Amino acid sequence: MGSEQTISMIQIFGILRKHIRAIAGTTLVVTLAAIFVTFFVMTPKYSATTEILVNRKLSSDMQAAQFQQVQADVQMISTYKDIITSPTVLRDVNKQIRDYPGYPGSMNALKDSLSISNSQNSQVFSVSAKSTDAGTAAAIANSTAEVFKKKVVKIMSVNNVSIVSEAETNTKAVSPRKTLNIAAGLVIGLILGIALAFIRELTDRTVSDESFITDELGLTNLGIVSEIDQKDIEKTVEHRSFQTKTSNSGIIKGSRRV
Could you tell me which of 108, 97, 121 has the C-alpha nearest to residue 48? 97
The mean-pLDDT minimum among 10-14, 123-127, 230-234 falls in 230-234
pLDDT above 70 covers a percentage of the chain that reads 74
Angle at 109 between CA 158 and CA 117, to 5 degrees: 45
Q: Is the pLDDT of residue 4 over 50?
A: no
Residue 218 and residue 140 in one domain: no
Residue 197 and residue 219 in one domain: no
Residue 114 and residue 153 in one domain: yes
In a domain, 155, yes or no: yes
CA distance 129 to 39: 22
pLDDT tens digits for range 175-185: 999 999 999 99
**H or E segment at 52?**
strand 46-54
CB atoms within 10 A of CB 61: 7
* Radius of gyration from C-alpha coordinates of the chain: 38
Task: Please give the order of strands across the beta sheet that includes 124-131.
Answer: 114-118, 124-131, 46-54, 161-165
Residue 134 and residue 236 in one domain: no
Q: Is the pLDDT of residue 198 over 50?
A: yes
Spatial contact of 173 and 45, defined as CB atoms under 8 Å apart = yes
In a domain, 172, yes or no: no
Residue 187 and residue 214 in one domain: no
Helix boundaries (H) for 1-133 = 2-18, 20-36, 66-84, 87-97, 107-113
Quote the mean pLDDT of the chain.
Answer: 82
Residue 137 and residue 182 in one domain: no
219 vs 37, higher pLDDT: 37
Whole-prediction pTM: 0.66
237 vs 86, higher pLDDT: 86
Q: What is the pLDDT of residue 194?
A: 93
* Backbone angles phi and psi of 203, in degrees to 5: -90, 0
Residue 124 and residue 28 in one domain: no
105 vs 69, higher pLDDT: 105
Q: What is the pLDDT of residue 258?
A: 47
CA distance 87 to 111: 9
Q: Is the pLDDT of residue 227 over 60?
A: yes
Q: What is the pLDDT of residue 145?
A: 94
In a domain, 171, yes or no: no
In a domain, 218, yes or no: yes
Q: Which of 104, 138, 165 is the last residue of a domain?
A: 165
CA distance 138 to 130: 8
Q: Which of 110, 138, 165 is the last residue of a domain?
A: 165
In a domain, 170, yes or no: no
pLDDT tens digits for range 99-158: 999 898 899 999 999 999 888 778 888 999 999 999 999 999 999 999 999 998 888 877
Q: What is the pLDDT of residue 61?
A: 53
- For residue 31, give every residue at least 6 positions away whose Cβ sits within 8 Å of its Cβ, in sequence order, or none: 182, 185, 186, 189
Q: Stretch 78-103: mean pLDDT, rounded?
A: 91
Query: At 141, which CATH number?
Result: 3.30.70.1130
64 vs 98, higher pLDDT: 98
Residue 183 and residue 243 in one domain: no
The mean-pLDDT minimum among 159-163, 181-185, 236-240, 242-246 falls in 242-246
The mean-pLDDT minimum among 3-7, 25-29, 82-86, 253-257 falls in 3-7
Query: β-pairing, 161-165 with 124-131?
Result: unpaired
CA distance 97 to 101: 9
Q: Is the pLDDT of residue 60 over 60?
A: no
In a domain, 190, yes or no: yes
**H or E segment at 128?**
strand 124-131
3 vs 242, higher pLDDT: 242
Residue 96 and residue 143 in one domain: yes
Residue 90 and residue 8 in one domain: no
Residue 34 and residue 115 in one domain: no
Q: How many helices (H) and strands (E) does the chain have?
A: 9, 4
Domain count, the chain: 3
Residue 133 and residue 195 in one domain: no
Domain range holding 246? 210-257
Q: Is the pLDDT of residue 250 over 90?
A: no
N- to C-terminal Cα separation, the chain: 79
